[in-house]
Chain A
Amino acid sequence: MQTIELTVNGEPLKASVDPRTTLADFLREQADARSIHLGCEHGVCGGCTIVVNGKIARSCIALAVAMDGADIRTLEGLSDDPSIVQLRDSFHTCHGLQCGYCTPGMLITARDIINRYGEADEAFLREALAGNICRCTGYAGIVKAVQHAAAELTKTRSNLK
């Protein structure tokens, strides 16, 4: 076992980890981050996407032991984030989910896309979302939801000015 100290959703956490433990399992079991959904466990499906030091990452292909000093955000810790608040609403309005298994990873990825690129056309969004697999929706609602959220956030920002 090795000891690591990190920040999870704003809270400092000191834990002893078996070096073989993935970041996903560690966060689910020791930080109660059940929004992390495991699908493939080899980096392809996107269900386990979280934010590490401000950048999105696959928690299934990172080791917890390597996260000493890291600042981690899971969907639980982003509930007040303005982009997530808007995305949650847009996913609801535009039918961006059915079973919900892919949804936490979709929301975190969509937040990253909006923060990086702002509003984008459908073709671009479909490519940018290609790393997140959804077995239910057929993506139409998801793409619409992300476009809707990006447009609403632009409006809010220009109203603030």
Chain B
Amino acid sequence: MKPGALNYVRPNSVQEAIASLEEGGMDAKIIAGGQSLVPMLNLRMVSAERLIDIGGIPGFREFSADDREVRLGACITHERIQIGEVTDPSNGLMPKVASAIAYQAVRNRGTIGGSMALADPSADWLTTTAALGATVEWEGPDGKNSCLSEEFVVAAYTTQLGMSDLLTGIRIPRLHPDAKWGTYKLCRKVGEFAHAMAIAIRSPSATRAFLGATEGAPVRLKHTEDVLSTLKEWHAAHASVLSQSMDSDIAESGREFDDVHIWQLRTCLLRSAQMSFGVKPVEPEGL
């Protein structure tokens, strides 16, 4: 339960970090908040001869905002989003999501960039930034690059980042002020990774619906978005229509889920949709 031998470096620039990554090759690893990496080092699931701490790179802990979008540096912590210390582009969705990631002591150190780069399929930010139409930015030996968050994750723990690439920041477009959202994370114990999650955003400019914790990349629900965009208020009868549209979205995605997982994902989707209409989902008795 202790890490193996390692070296630790703290570069002062993106270029220095990339050079160090290239030099270290397979044995080099970036460390940001360390809240996923150090547990893996402790358990010796991962080894790293060289840890490259990016926390001191200028700009990585900063954010910027204009009237179109907010850009978060890679090392902004979950907690700073939770408490609204960084400008919120999402009408409260991001602080709400942040407050349900792990526990306060972990949120205080874990970063949004680390969470995206690791791409644990259950990570809350993968689904959230995809639903918000965010763009992920990175830099590597070939220069700067970026893509939409919903295209960033290729599979579980696999992203578009190359071996020596460094995620530098995330740009999140501002939600329409009248946009309404709902989100639901299903887990057995508070602070755990999700077994299933969903986010629904109904905005005058676009309706978005995503499923997360799907063992791979988040799944976009295009038919469901079409259905949701026609609804004016929540009605119990909408549940079966949305369930059907979710089933066809999943069928078209080519992904396969077992019955229980489908049931969990559907529960999350329906609760998110309800929440976006201001309806509080009914909690089971005894919770």
Contacts and interface: CB of A to CB of B under 8 A. Distances in A.
A128 interface: yes
Interface in B99-149: 102-106, 108-109
Given A42-B39, A43-B39, A63-B8, A19 B51 contact: yes
A11 B152 CA distance: 46
A20 interface: yes
Given A61-B38, A130-B191, A19 B6 contact: yes
A62 B104 contact: no
B34 A62 contact: yes
The winner among B31, B79, B105 for most chain A CB atoms within 10 A is B105
Given A19-B51, A25-B2, A112-B104, 11 more contacts: A22-B2, A22-B3, A41-B2, A46-B105, A49-B105, A55-B79, A62-B34, A62-B38, A62-B109, A63-B34, A116-B104
A24 B41 CA distance: 15
B264 interface: no
Interface residues of B, number: 31
Interface in B154-198: 189-191
B65 to A, nearest CB: 23
Given A43-B35, A43-B39, A63-B34, A20 B2 contact: yes
A66 B35 contact: no
Contacts, number: 88
A57 interface: yes
Interface size classification for chain A = 20 to 34
Contacts of B105: 46, 49, 56-58, 109, 131
B108 A20 contact: no
Given A56-B108, A63-B34, A22 B79 contact: no
Contacts of B103: 46, 130-132
Q: Is the interface of B mostly helix, strand, loop or mixed?
A: loop
Interface in A1-38: 2, 18-20, 22, 25
A65 interface: yes
A127 interface: yes
Contacts of B25: none
A25 to B, nearest CB: 8
Interface string A37-70: 0000111001001001001111011110110000
B260 interface: no
Complex A-B, nearest 5 residue pairs according to Cβ-Cβ distance, in ascending order: A131-B103, A42-B39, A130-B190, A61-B38, A19-B8
A25 B10 CA distance: 22
Contact of B38 (A18, A22, A130): A22
A42 B6 contact: no
Contacts of B51: 19, 63
Given A43-B35, A60-B42, A130-B191, A66 B8 contact: yes
